[in-house]
Structure 1
């Protein structure tokens, strides 16, 4: 009797949004770092990509029509474009955003994505500008600094309690003066 085990650890092939031609997107990015269908504000998107590049963010913007079946397809497309173009790739659909970057952390990308989602197809340039602005904002909270401050307060509190305990023990061990 043979037993076959399905391999649950085999990587799944990236699924690109329907009707997506990766070669055409790469070719379209060559001139102005924007690949967008007709009707999307290509000039405004190109200006945003150029401004981002001037500020040190190697940005490519891809726009796909409609929304794919699942939002993860946009990230898959961004990853595929990023393997070729490198830098930071943002893919917009009508309501969703997918990203890739070898320059920024996933957390920072997702924070920038959140502000750019659900803007609609007529506001892709606005969504792209929000994405770039949020991507370039300094981290608002440094969890390392907060952790170190809390750790310092905890150590100071423990040290203070130890000093109080030692003083009480010393005071209790002294003979008390007779009350007259």
Structure 2
């Protein structure tokens, strides 16, 4: 049997990722990090995000995997048993999965949280802050403002035209 370059690839998880250990570590504070690492600051950030309505769970892997897509693959696997939004952080990259937040919004939040040189607390803080922001432009408000401007312009032009007409009919004095 030959391998095809166009066939699907197996899910690649970062080296040493153990889903059973991650599940057990997430159980108490929604944070899973390598042993010996202080999780208190991360747990506080996650608790704050959860208080703000974002069901965030954070997994930290040491170093960087050979490819950043492995973090997303791990987040997807964790997302199968941990509901909400799962963010997997390495020293420089982030991989995410969510059953409640769009991929576009996740990647927007990821962009500024990457490349923090292993400062996971800073990266988690930036990521959570971006997720907590309201979605940019409210299209309903923008549409309403544009309609109001159009109505004012049409009304103003009609008023000017009527005034000009009245002036022309009055003739010279």
TM-score range, shorter chain: 0.7 to 0.9
1:29–1:140: structure 2 CA closer, same or farther, 3 Å change rule?
same
1:61 and 2:58 matched = yes
Aligned with 2:67 (options 70, 81, 94): 70
1:35 and 2:32 matched = yes
C-alpha distance after superposition, 1:15-68 (max 9, x if no partner): 101111111111111111110014543001111111211222111100000000
1:7–1:93: structure 2 CA closer, same or farther, 3 Å change rule?
closer
Which residue of the partner structure matches residue 93 of structure 1? Answer: 90
SS in structure 2 at match of 1:110: helix
| Rounded Cα–Cα distance in structure 2 between residues aligned with 1:106 and 1:97 | 13
1:103–1:75: structure 2 CA closer, same or farther, 3 Å change rule?
same
Query: Where do 5+ consecutive residues of structure 1 fail to align?
Result: 155-180
- Within 5 A, what are the aligned runs for 1:136-151? 136-142=132-138
Query: Where do 5+ consecutive residues of structure 2 fail to align?
Result: 151-173
- TM-score w.r.t. the length of structure 1 is 0.73
Structure 1 residue 126: Cα displacement? 1.4
Name which one, 1 or 2, has greater alpha-carbon Rg: 1
- TM-score w.r.t. the length of structure 2 is 0.76
Which residue of the partner structure matches residue 124 of structure 2? Answer: 128
| Rounded Cα–Cα distance in structure 2 between residues aligned with 1:73 and 1:110 | 15
1:140–1:25: structure 2 CA closer, same or farther, 3 Å change rule?
same
Count of paired positions:
169
| Rounded Cα–Cα distance in structure 2 between residues aligned with 1:51 and 1:64 | 22
SS in structure 2 at match of 1:18: coil
- Is the 8 Å Cα contact of residues 74 and 97 (structure 1) preserved in structure 2? yes
SS in structure 2 at match of 1:84: coil
